[in-house]
Chains A and B, each alone.
Chain A
Amino acid sequence: MDFKLTEEQELIKKNMREFCEKYVDPIAAEIDENSRHPAEVFQKLAEGDWMGIPIPAQYGGSGADYLTHICAVEELARSCASTGFTVSIHVGIASMLILLFGNEEQKKTFLVPLAKGEKLGAFVLTEPGAGTDVMAATTTAVLDGDHYVINGTKTFTSNGPTGDTYLVFAWTDKAAGRKGMSAFIVPRGTPGMTAGNHFAKMGLRSSQTSEMLFKDCRVPKANLLGKEGNGLAMAMTGFDHGRTGIAAQAVGIIQAALEESVRYAKERVQFGQPIARHQAIAWMIADMATDLNAARFLTYHAAWLKDQGQPFSKEASMAKLFASEKAMHHTIKAVQIQGGYGYCKGAKVERLMRDAKITEIYEGTSEAQRMVISGNVLR
């Protein structure tokens, strides 16, 4: 057993904290309020090699391990859950899938600019009728000469309006069931692919979410990721990585909720003493700190398994399930602790509470995580 981060991981985490204090904290409330994608922050993230931490140096990344990336996502989310998430899906799903399943040519063409942070990745799977039930998707990709022709409507695509490199999932052989879906790398600007309606969200507001519309979108055969029919399996692998990132995002949110609660509880005086001395408040904070530790260990453990080359699907789901539900629970408590002040715009806990909710929903709802976990346990 070794519960210590390496020196490098610790230093990188500290540096990310400093980065956030300097570049993210000052704008976090504003980009939430205005639903703005902070391009200037992503420019800085790219300069500091934060956009491709676990991607090998030969493909433009930093060549560190996955846990280091997870630490960075946690710290980012502690300041701004949206920014943390954008990095998580860009690295954990879009870039990781090309790294794991792309051929050399695809890695050179698409992965290198992603890992350097010159391009932003997006994951295009969900459809209006196909959320947790992925098999209900209807988007198709039909081979026509040297091209696949994609038709269909995708929705809730994170980085939809802002992305550069899209991983699009479509049926190449619907009759083949779970082995009938394929994944394609579609660069922004490909004729026939457009971002549809943008969604105005309760939380995670600076992350840009939209529909993605495909109308006779012709994608070269060379852009097929992995083998035809392998799409669903690859998506599941992507989720293992992505969910670990969402868990880290939730850990960052709990950390921020705890800090806000501790600070306020020590300062706010009611009945002649700081409310931290009231047991009702003190116990909320005790639970918060305890769940934070548990969530963080689950998350780091999932990432550690990944770095050891071991299966981590179940652990990623456990980390995501636990951390996200605790994030929701404790951000509600954090608002409760700050009372009326916490309920007002401008209070960080108010944003944390809205941001926390999505962690229970995307990249697999809590219900979907329980399906994965129970499926593993009951196997």
Chain B
Amino acid sequence: MPHIVVCFKWVIDETYLRRAPGGGLDFSSVDYKLSDYDRNAIEEAVRIRTALGGTVTGITVGPPEAAKGVKDALSRGMDAGVFIADPAFVDLDPSQTVSLIAQAVRNHVGPFDLIICGEGSGDLYAQQVGPRLAEALGIDCVAFATQISLEGGTLTAQRRLEGVIEVVTAPLPALVTVLPEINTPRIPGVKDTLMAGKKPVRTLAKGDLGATGGPRLQTLAVRAAAMERACEKFGVEEAEVIRFVDALKKRGVLA
């Protein structure tokens, strides 16, 4: 019976972000949520466990306040949690997050068959932790799966690339990142939430794990995207219509 590890992140709910005067971001009224993409990852792990048995362990890195996220994640059907917590664990580089999770998986989680990650996090959406983690643990990686199954020590996954669908197999243990279309995450019931607090959570402090190395990227600024739309107007002459199409292309919205 498989042991599945799911990675998840407690993120800022972007619907509460406001534009601050001067073009920055106003975080004063933000709320947090379990990253939407990770809900699919958890759902998929729980779906497999329901079919095959086994256990699902969730793992996250964050500041102590993310404890609520651990509870949220557990309310979605996982069996146990590993919470790597420290006030300093905010805005970590993907490489640092991966270093922490890889150490925790190696030293505190025990043997596993499959790691499932969402396709990216709901806040920074760098889409790095999954594939980097596979490398850090030296296991095979299948990204952007739309369907997965386990049988006899093999992962079979369907993945979506531009214009083509690939079905691949990989020996376990392996890591897979899943696209939102893979399933419809449940909305936890009242009892699921109440029971989540009673599930075992192992909290690992900074000192329980080794160094992560420094950040590889430095954020220089985060500023609000232009939310008010300033309409650029075009005429109806042929040259103007072509300029209009080019403007759409420039914005990267024409497939």
Interface residues of A (CB under 8 A from B): 7-8, 10-12, 14-15, 18-19, 22, 47-50, 53, 57, 62-64, 68, 72
Residues of B within 8 Å of A48, CB to CB, are: 187-190
Residues of A within 8 Å of B250, CB to CB, are: none
Q: Would A8 and B187 count as touching, CB distance under 8 A?
A: no
At the interface, yes or no: B33 with Cβ under 8 Å from chain A?
yes
Residues of B within 8 Å of A7, CB to CB, are: 67-68, 71, 197
Alpha-carbon gap, A48 to B191, bound state (A): 8
Q: Would A8 and B33 count as touching, CB distance under 8 A?
A: no
Q: Would A62 and B68 count as touching, CB distance under 8 A?
A: no
Q: Would A49 and B187 count as touching, CB distance under 8 A?
A: no
Q: Would B193 and A8 count as touching, CB distance under 8 A?
A: yes
Task: Give the contacting residue for A49; candidates B67, B68, B72, B190; CB below 8 A.
Answer: B190
Contact with A along B184-206 (1 / 0, CB 8 A): 00011111111011000000000
For chain B, the count of residues having a C-beta within 8 Å of the partner chain is 16
In terms of DSSP, what is the predominant structure of the interface of chain B? Answer: helix
A292: shortest Cβ distance to chain B, in Å? 15
Write the chain A residue with the least CB distance to B71. Answer: A7
At the interface, yes or no: B96 with Cβ under 8 Å from chain A?
no
A45: shortest Cβ distance to chain B, in Å? 10
Task: Give the contacting residue for A15; candidates B67, B68, B187; CB below 8 A.
Answer: B187
Alpha-carbon gap, A53 to B192, bound state (A): 12
Residues of B within 8 Å of A47, CB to CB, are: 189
Q: Would A63 and B189 count as touching, CB distance under 8 A?
A: no
B67, B192, B193 — which one has the most chain A CB atoms within 10 A of its CB?
Answer: B193
- Given A7-B68, A11-B68, answer yes or no on A49-B189 (Cβ-Cβ < 8 Å): yes
Residues of B within 8 Å of A53, CB to CB, are: 190
Residues of A within 8 Å of B68, CB to CB, are: 7, 10-11
Q: Would A22 and B75 count as touching, CB distance under 8 A?
A: no
Alpha-carbon gap, A19 to B185, bound state (A): 12
A11, A15, A48, A68 — which one has the most chain B CB atoms within 10 A of its CB?
Answer: A11
A22, A62, A68, A72 — which one has the most chain B CB atoms within 10 A of its CB?
Answer: A62
Task: Give the contacting residue for B71; candidates A8, A19, A68, A72; CB below 8 A.
Answer: A8
Task: Give the contacting residue for B193; candidates A12, A18, A19; CB below 8 A.
Answer: A12
